[in-house]
């Protein structure tokens, strides 16, 4: 059975993974790609760690807390980069990142 204490954090990770993958793809299609290059990099990094973290919680990894701690850090950085940009996908992504960072910090503590 899914460990219920993880439920909200897993949900936040999966939503953040989606927002980051969507933002990554949208940034690659922006006219001024150069301006988005750090956003592209962090989106991909953040999407990947969110997927990794969800998997860790879903499978009761003995390292779930440490993985959540790292995930919170990457989400925080990605959110800070995304909120600098005006695009809708970046705004939405920043929100998901900050929410996920918060849920992950709760799990990690």
Residues that bind a second copy (CB under 8 A): 1-2, 10, 14, 17-18, 21-22, 24-26, 28-29, 31-34, 37, 40-42, 44-45, 47-48, 51-52, 54-56, 58-63, 66-67, 70, 73-74, 77, 88-89
Q: Which is nearer to a second copy, 72 or 98 (CB)?
A: 72
Tokens of 14: 């999966």
Closest listed residue to residue 41, CA positions, set 59, 51, 28, 60: 28
Angular region, 60: left φ>0, alpha ψ -120 to 50, beta rest: left
As measured in angstroms, the least distance from the Cβ of 106 to a second copy is 18
């Amino acid at each position: 059975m899914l460990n219920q204490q993880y439920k909200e954090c897993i949900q936040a990770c999966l939503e953040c993974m989606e927002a980051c993958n969507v933002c990554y793809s949208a940034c690659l299609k922006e006219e001024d790609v150069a301006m988005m290059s750090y956003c592209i990099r962090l989106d991909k990094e953040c999407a990947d760690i969110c997927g990794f973290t969800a998997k860790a919680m879903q499978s009761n990894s003995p390292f779930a807390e440490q993985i959540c701690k790292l995930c919170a850090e990457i989400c925080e950085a990605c959110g800070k980069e995304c909120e600098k940009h005006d695009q809708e996908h970046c705004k939405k992504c920043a929100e998901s990142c900050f929410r996920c960072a918060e849920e992950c910090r709760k799990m990690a503590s």
